Amino acid sequence: MPQLPTGYRGFKQNPYQGICLHSIHKNHTCQALLIMALPDETKKKDILLQEPDDQVLDLALRPTTFNDFIGQENVKGNLAILIGAAKKRQEPLEHILIHGPSGLGKTTLAYLIARESGAGIRITSGAAMEKAGDIGSILTGLSDGDFLFIDEVHRLNKTVEETLYPAMENYCLDIIIGKGTSAKTLQVKLPRFTLIAATTRISLLSNPFRSRFGAHYKLDFYNQSEIEKIIQRSARLLKIKTGDGALAKIAASSRFTPRIANRLLKRTRDYAQVKNSPLLTELLATEALSLLGIDELGLDATDRKILDVISKNFNGGPVGLKSIAAAIAEEEETIEDVYEPYLMQIGFLARTSRGRMLTDLAVKHLGLPQNKNGQESLI
């Protein structure tokens, strides 16, 4: 089995015994290996699997320094102060909570924080830890100064969350032995580590848990210029030749989200290659995006379905989230986490105390029928 690279260590549980995702950065490139441990009955040897091309490319496109990370200037500035001060005191960083919509760079920032601090990082997600022993096994495997990154931390169950309390405050793990009146508490000392937690739904975190983080950072949507710079860098790394206006077209349709922008860049590149064009032009980018069902504002079929249902089925709103989810056969959480933030960001959807309502901007953009109930329009 390959050696674990310094600074980039990942851990994620699976139905077998574990999956470790190792990201190895060499000369600004990145290789990814998926190492899967087989069940006991088939212990012959580990199987090394190359990740799908897109996932390898996503890792390769991740910035490797804060200078490469475009946008979120205020967050980067505050992180630079936090890391610099901790280095001068020769102390671990305070625990960090990063929140914001998905795809904005929370995981990338966690990597960069560990890299700038010269420490290792282990990665897991809230959904992967079902019992206290799961988090305990990870914490006891850390070294002094290491980072633990928990993605989707709002999905931690209460037992695991409460296990983290003494670990975050006193660097110790409380283990209860026995039951009832004969129960005893054994404390296990832990290395001084830093927890970096990421969430798209900070409101779901309990106050006791949230208050234990010394630094809170919110990531906002990027602007057009920043997205263009991001995909310009990605195009250079992927050796994609682009014509005038192509990157601007992709950026405008990216929902101001780097992850989506990079994905659209790769899909438009595929389209250009199939059309035997050595250059990704604005026209080819427009045709590719149209084929994907994405308009000039980045709205896809589900976005339009949400807006269309609110307009036609519920007369423009107000309407509850459950009703929208039932009407379009989509999960409430998906609508709230994936689609609503952007629709609200561009002013197409308003969330009121009575429910969701369309704005005049949405009605104009999609050519939807006007509100028939004579309710006040929202701008």
pLDDT of the residue at 24: 31
Q: Along the chain (379 residues), what's the average pLDDT of each consecutive run of 10 residues?
A: 40 32 33 30 32 58 89 94 92 93 92 92 90 86 92 91 90 75 76 94 92 94 94 92 93 93 94 94 95 92 92 90 92 89 91 91 79 48
Whether 114 maps to a domain, the answer reads yes
Cα–Cα distance between 331 and 321 in angstroms, integer? 10
108 is catalytic: no
CATH number at residue 132: 3.40.50.300
> Quick one: DSSP state of residue 314?
S
Residue 173 lies in a domain: yes
- Residue 18 placed within a domain: no
With respect to residue 1, please indicate whether it lies within any of the assigned structural domains: no
Domain membership flag for residue 90 = yes
Same domain, 170 and 233: no
Catalytic residue among 9, 58, 62, 107: 107
Last-in-domain residue among 198, 218, 238: 218
Q: Are residues 70 and 204 in the same domain?
A: yes
What DSSP line would sit under 110-125, residue for residue? HHHHHHHHT--EEEEE
Residue 82 lies in a domain: yes
- What is the per-residue pLDDT for 219? 95
Q: Which residue among 58, 146, 151, 303 is the active-site one?
A: 151
Q: Are residues 314 and 260 in the same domain?
A: no
Residues 259 and 113 in one domain: no
Q: Is 107 a catalytic residue?
A: yes
378 domain residue, yes or no: no
Domain check: are 148 and 195 in the same one? yes
Same domain? 82 vs 198: yes
Question: Do 102 and 170 reside in the same domain of the chain?
Answer: yes
CATH number of the domain enclosing 361: 1.10.10.10
Residue 236's contacts (CB-CB under 8 Å, 6 or more residues apart) are none
C-alpha pair distances (Å), 364 with each of 13, 111, 188: 47, 42, 62
230 in the same domain as 213: no
Same domain, 211 and 228: no
pTM of the full predicted structure?
A: 0.77
> Which residue out of 106, 115, 263, 356 is catalytically annotated?
106
Total domains, the chain = 3
Q: Tell me whether residue 185 is one of the annotated catalytic residues.
A: no
SS (HEC) of 327-346: HHCCCHHHHHHHHHHHHHHC
Catalytic: which of 259, 263, 267, 269? 259
Residues 143 and 124 in one domain: yes
67 and 206 share one domain: yes
- Helix or strand holding residue 325 (H, E): helix 321-328
Q: Which of 163, 200, 257, 359 is the catalytic position?
A: 200
Same domain, 104 and 160: yes
300 is catalytic: no
Q: Residue 18's closest CA among 121, 101, 138?
A: 138
Question: What range does the domain containing 261 cover?
Answer: 224-291
Could you give the 3-state DSSP secondary structure of residue 147? strand
Q: Is residue 157 part of a domain?
A: yes
334 is an active site residue: no
Among 291, 316, 348, the domain boundary falls at: 291
Euclidean distance between CA atoms 345 and 211, whole angstroms: 28
Max intra-chain CA distance, the chain? 76
Looking up residue 244, the CATH number of its domain turns out to be 1.10.8.60
Residue 36: the pLDDT is 27
